[in-house]
Amino acid sequence: MIPCFKYHQPAELEETLELLTGLSGSKKVLAGGTDLVLALRRQELSPNHIVSLKRLSQLKKIEIGHGEVHIGALVTFSELLESTIIKESFALLVEAAQQVGGPQIRNQGTVGGNIITASPAGDLLPPLLALGASVKLIKKGSERIVPLEQFLIGLGKTTILPEEILSEVFFPVLPNNTTSSFFKLGRRNSLAISRISMAVILFHDAKGLINDSRLVLGAVGIKPFRATLAEKSLKGCLPDSLLLEKAITSIAQSVSSSLGDRSSATYKKRAVQGVARQALCKAEPIFQSGNG
Amino acid sequence: MKGKYEGRTKFATVGKSYRRLDGIAKVTGKAQFAADMKLPNILYCKILRSTTPHAVLRSIDVSPALAMSEVVAVYTADDIPGENRIGIIVKDEPVLVKDHIRKIGEALAVVVASTEEAAEKALPLIKVDYEEIPAVFSPEEAMAIGAPLIHEESKDNIQSVIKIKRGNVEEAIARSKVVISRRYTTQMIEHAYVEPEAGIAVMEDNCVKIWASTQNPHYDRREVARVLGIGQHQVRVIQATTGGGFGGKLDISVQCFLGLAAYKTGQPVRMVYDREESFMASPKRHPFIIDYTSACDEEGRLLAVKVKIVGDTGAYASYGPATLKRAAVHATGPYEVPNVSIESFCVYTNNPTAGAMRGFGTPQMAFAHESQMDLLAEALGMDKFTIRLRNCFHSGSLTATGQRLSKSVGIRESIVIARNKARELGMLNSHLKNHGVGIGCMWYGIGNTGAPNPAGAFLDFNEDGTAIVLTGCADIGQGSTTALAQIAAEELGIEISNIYILAGDTGISPDAGASSASRQTYISGNAVRLAAQEAKETILKEASNVLGVDRSGLDIKDGYIVQAGEKTSLTLKDLLKRCRLKGQLTLGSGRFNPHTTEMDENGQGVPYATYSFATQVTEVEVDSETGKVKVLRVIAAHDVGKAINPQAVEGQIEGGILMGIGYALMEEVKLSEGKIVNPRLSEYFLPMSLDTPQIYSFIIEKPEKTGPFGAKGVGEPALVPTAASIANAVANALNTRFYDLPITLEKVVLSLPSKGD
Amino acid sequence: METFILKATINGTPLELPVDPSWRLLDVLRQKLGLTGVKEGCGEGECGACTVLLNRKPVNSCLILAPEADGADIVTIEGLAQQGMLHPIQEAFLEAGAVQCGFCTPGMVLAAKALLDNNPNPSDMDVKTAISGNLCRCTGYVKIIEAIHLAAKKISSGGDNI
């Protein structure tokens, strides 16, 4: 049984922002609903108002320009998978979106919703963090840009204000000579909650050395984070199996310090090595080759 | 697809893969499950359930709920007109708790309201006054002296004990070459049929009429009548289309609440569980603790098996005694063992009730006995197929209960076929890293254990050559209705399209017992066949008169009378008309009760009339870093006696294997002080399509002479050896064995040496 | 609660329905319209029994508030058979033995339809992925997967729809 609320379905963005500023009482913004409707049904939430973004078509676009890709908050996982822009250059996003829930959830759930839910296991968060994404938050009369890394502050927590909506997430286009991947470990092969996930971006130079990298781990802390030590260990090196082991070891160390003595820590700091191996090798198969 | 099963038999109808008779209704969405049914002015029932595992219930104040205008009534134990006691084997469970709460989720009160929302809103208004008392959640602690008593009238928490003794185990162990002793544990799991429990009820002509999702409408009727204190003729239970059962819909769910509410209010009532309530209220698979010792000689011949089984049946017995009894009977596996000592304890705790689930304790036992067979083989350096072939049952073998097996024993064939297929697929000599192959063998007694379990059927052979069969047999998706129609059509010599099966309505059809224990094809199949024979007999006697020949060579085929296999000019329709004109109704009734005997104090006897056998060989790939086990291929060879509908048999095998994958690797009802912490499908993981391996099914037909056209059963055997074979495959892949199910990601990783260590 | 007027095309028929906004699309279809082929198995998007096609895509109707379906084209299992003729997917499910208890069947058939409408010649992986949001506890999925391949063949051979 879903508790009573007043339902609003504004036709324009301005009207939406008006409502969010003007409405008194608790309110929730509704996008795809796959998380919100569940929370309502479980009576974990009982807002006075629900403001639906359904009619805001400007939030459903994927655009590229000025060296940036902009994904509207209402873009569904399926739409992400169908987008030529995404398919051509962002393997890590494709691989992450493919592994969200099942087809039904991918048709309903949105990019914005995945960010706002801020689950440590949120499938899109590691790739977006790896891409250096920022979110655009708008409210009546103003807007602000916040790097995703700062926007996510903990388990289900972000810095969004009740009168704000997240309108889009954007990130710079990747230079040539980058490869990327995403790997998710679940207990089953669909409708799985990530036990551990990892997004990888490797920036190569002309000689095949790794110039730079972004390695982001999911579900091994209160929010996904970059394995900066491991990123450093790759810098300026040629990928081979020795380097792979080195990176894996330092990833395990960062997971170890992130999880502390949580009950899952013993398992996760070992299993993350397998996750890292598969994610890194998917992004760069040469990692599997012998050194030299 | 077509032609896949052809040319296998000399039968006209039996052995062919007919489409399900209820298929069109199901693919079009027209099939009426209980939650889909409507009646005018219907009232809605909701149950207030206990939130504490063990307490003395002092009082319930329902007045605040009754004060709501939409609430029609609230019933508690005091409102039950008859006996407030139910239970399939032991009547130890109240419909509504009177004074002693024994588990979380127990029903305390029924709210009846004009809307579902109002019924739900009324629940928290009811005031329950109770005093918590010490609880016990581990069966071993529950068995200890001084443990809190779950059932105050008993002297301890041991609900029942079964012992099977044969030969001299200690002496045999002493002279054995290899002795392996291990403890195995298995987890509690949920049936997770996709349809949650539901039903509706109405008073009609002084009769309580209930439509419910159920595996046993006649049992439901008995319980409702007793609880209401009325005759069974005043209760009519009709099985609605039922969305799976797997044993979980054998116990009473909504039936008694609906019966009570309809009887008392006189109005139509409805009740539908949501998933969480289904998790909370339904019985589970028993978690087992199994201490298993096996002993063999230098050639791998089993000399002795000694087993102690402790099963946690939770707060109420449900099918627990039958589960632990069947576990004991099957504890040796499908092997000849001259010296046997088995003790099996069914123990009460304050955990959720465990009851029947597909296999009744045998999947747990298969995990143990098949692991033991591998361990013996490893100790002797013997091939794992060979050790099984050396010990497996054959026609004439003596079982642990001293039963001499009949001719229908296909275990050897199943091992050989599975092994040969594994060889052909190159599974046995794969050198791929972290790949493993495991074997699981099993046997399964068809029907209830050492107890009468009859089924009846009526048949009316209409004058136009069509027939109506009345049977109590509940089709819960397994396809019994179609199989019974095939059996009737075969016996009557008519097309299956000319048969109508009216099943699972206690107002019309005779009792067929439960759709459980893989028993319906064998037992109801025989009842239907006998009913058909009786109706046919009237016709053939008349044919014998008309033709002036002896009755013995006559039969019906394709609408004609045949004599010694040759078609005569006499048509079936003519004969049916003649019988009518003479006032001879072509009716038949059939009843069948498999031959069993009660087991004596040493567990000796004939617990089942016949057994099914199977071998499954499973190939897995294990990621030793993440612990992920991928089931790649499963070969399943099953002796079913005779496949009445081979496609349906395959469907059972495939479904059983997926359920076995869940059991081995991902499913577990997690408890904290008697509370289920993961009562949702988002937290209880079931195998999905992407977890499906390649499956190679082989149907072996060693006809059972007491079965209808040789048939035995397959519903449970399909699942029984799967988890065992997966566990053996994982052990084979990693050189590390797991003694506790499920084999989770975490267990795999933590069992292996860490690189840093 | 204020009533919302839901305008949607359901199984080809445009409808205007007053709904309580807290109702789920599932409740509207089952209770208001009597389309009980839409099943509720879990109420949280984990079983796919409530699958309907919304603008040709499969969605869980248990996770959609009714007003969110405003303006949509919705197809339930009841909208599949035309003039009493089964859809080739329904036919294939029967032929392949893909139906047991039948509770997951409507959702499975619709998930299959969404796949085959876009991809008439799917691989095994495509088929498994297309039904990976639909739980079946009876069949082990094997015959459902076979049925979807069979349906693809039936459709490509010109709707062999006997």
pLDDT of the residue at C84? 85
Residue of B nearest to C150 (CA): B1
pLDDT of the residue at C82? 86
User: From the CA of C162, how many Å to the nearest CA of chain A?
Assistant: 30
pLDDT of the residue at C1? 67
Alpha-carbon Rg for chain C, nearest whole angstrom, is 16
pLDDT-above-70 percentage for chain B: 98
DSSP B404: B
pLDDT of the residue at A290? 65
Query: How confident is residue B5, by pLDDT bands cut at 50, 70 and 90?
Result: very low
Tens digit of each residue's pLDDT (9 = 90 or more) over B231-243:
999 999 999 999 9
Chain A residues touching residue C122 (CB < 8 angstroms) = none
Tens digit of each residue's pLDDT (9 = 90 or more) over B35-64:
999 999 999 999 999 999 999 999 999 999
Q: Do B656 and C140 touch (CB under 8 A)?
A: yes
Asked whether the predicted pLDDT for residue B7 surpasses 90, the reply is no
Element (H, E) at A269: helix A265-283
> What does the pLDDT average to over A142-154?
97
Nearest to A188 among B691, B746, B749 (CB): B691
Three-state SS at C159 = coil
Between the alpha carbon of residue B113 and those of residues A274, B72, B204, B268, the distances in Å are 55, 5, 20, 11
The total number of residues written for chain C in this structure: 162
pLDDT of the residue at B100? 98
> What does the pLDDT average to over B75-91?
98
Element (H, E) at A276: helix A265-283
- In sequence order, the 6+-apart residues with CB closer than 8 A to the CB of A287 are A239, A240, A241, A243, A244, A280, A281
Q: Is A9 on the interface with C (CB under 8 A)?
A: yes
Q: Is A193 on the interface with B (CB under 8 A)?
A: yes
Q: Best residue in C101, C132, C136, C157 to probe B by mutation, most B CBs within 10 Å?
A: C101
A contact chains, 3+ CB pairs < 8 A: B, C
> What does the pLDDT average to over A81-90?
97
**Tokens in use for B530?**
């006998």
Chain B / chain C CB contacts < 8 angstroms: 179
Weakest mean pLDDT among A90-104, A277-291, B136-150, B646-660: A277-291
CA-to-CA distance for A85 and A106, rounded, in angstroms?
Answer: 18
Q: Is C61 on the interface with A (CB under 8 A)?
A: no
> What does the pLDDT average to over B203-221?
97
Tokens 């219907």 belong to residue: B42
Asked whether the predicted pLDDT for residue B425 surpasses 50, the reply is yes
Nearest to C132 among A37, A78, A103 (CB): A103
Nearest to A107 among C44, C46, C58 (CB): C58
DSSP C31: I
Angular region, B13: left φ>0, alpha ψ -120 to 50, beta rest: alpha
- Judging by beta carbons within 10 Å of its beta carbon (0-12, 13-18, 19+), is residue A208 exposed, middle or buried? exposed
Tens digit of each residue's pLDDT (9 = 90 or more) over A221-263:
999 999 999 999 999 999 999 999 999 999 999 999 999 888 8
pLDDT-above-90 percentage for chain B: 97
> What does the pLDDT average to over B271-294?
98
Q: Do C4 and A7 touch (CB under 8 A)?
A: yes
Q: Do B666 and A195 touch (CB under 8 A)?
A: no
User: In this structure, are residues B640 and B444 in contact, taking their beta carbons and an 8 Å threshold?
Assistant: no
C81 vs C152: which has the higher pLDDT? C152
Q: Do A102 and C134 touch (CB under 8 A)?
A: yes
pLDDT of the residue at B10? 84
Asked whether the predicted pLDDT for residue B755 surpasses 80, the reply is no
- In sequence order, the 6+-apart residues with CB closer than 8 A to the CB of B195 are B33, B35, B213, B242, B243, B244, C39, C41, C101, C103
- In sequence order, the 6+-apart residues with CB closer than 8 A to the CB of B305 are B169, B292, B293, B294, B295, B331, B332, B337, B339, B340, B341, B342, B369, B400
Dihedral, B425, B430, B435, B438 alpha carbons, nearest 10: 60
Chain B residues touching residue A274 (CB < 8 angstroms) = 623-626
Cα angle, residue B415 at apex, residues B410 and B417 outer, rounded to 5°: 90
Q: Do C37 and B30 touch (CB under 8 A)?
A: yes
Phi then psi dihedrals of residue B353, to 5 deg: -65, 135
Q: Is B628 on the interface with A (CB under 8 A)?
A: yes
Tens digit of each residue's pLDDT (9 = 90 or more) over B84-140:
999 999 999 999 999 999 999 999 999 999 999 999 999 999 999 999 999 999 999
pLDDT of the residue at B2? 35
Tens digit of each residue's pLDDT (9 = 90 or more) over B668-723:
999 999 999 999 999 999 999 999 999 999 999 999 999 999 999 999 999 999 99
Q: Is A54 on the interface with C (CB under 8 A)?
A: yes
Nearest to B651 among C90, C97, C137 (CB): C97
Chain B residues touching residue A195 (CB < 8 angstroms) = 745
Asked whether the predicted pLDDT for residue B1 surpasses 80, the reply is no
Tens digit of each residue's pLDDT (9 = 90 or more) over B571-595:
999 999 999 999 999 999 999 999 9
User: In this structure, are residues B410 and B636 in contact, taking their beta carbons and an 8 Å threshold?
Assistant: no
C contact chains, 3+ CB pairs < 8 A: A, B
Residue of C nearest to B652 (CA): C139
Chain B residues touching residue C142 (CB < 8 angstroms) = 650, 654, 692, 695
Query: How confident is residue B756, by pLDDT bands cut at 50, 70 and 90?
Result: low
> What does the pLDDT average to over B656-667?
98
Tens digit of each residue's pLDDT (9 = 90 or more) over B488-545:
999 999 999 999 999 999 999 999 999 999 999 999 999 999 999 999 999 999 999 9
ipTM of model: 0.97
pTM given for the model: 0.97
> What does the pLDDT average to over B641-657?
98
Q: Is A4 on the interface with B (CB under 8 A)?
A: no
Three-state SS at A50 = strand
Q: Is C79 on the interface with A (CB under 8 A)?
A: no
Q: Do C68 and A52 touch (CB under 8 A)?
A: yes
> What does the pLDDT average to over A185-210?
95
pLDDT of the residue at B443? 98
- In sequence order, the 6+-apart residues with CB closer than 8 A to the CB of B417 are B615, B637, B698, B700
Q: Is B1 on the interface with C (CB under 8 A)?
A: yes
Q: Do A104 and C60 touch (CB under 8 A)?
A: yes
Tokens 């397994």 belong to residue: B478
Smallest Cα–Cα separation from B159: which of B326, B361, B310? B310
Q: Do C142 and B654 touch (CB under 8 A)?
A: yes
Q: Do B688 and A191 touch (CB under 8 A)?
A: yes
Nearest to C97 among B193, B194, B648 (CB): B648
User: In this structure, are residues B444 and B638 in contact, taking their beta carbons and an 8 Å threshold?
Assistant: no
Smallest Cα–Cα separation from B701: which of B714, B719, B692? B714
> What does the pLDDT average to over C64-93?
96
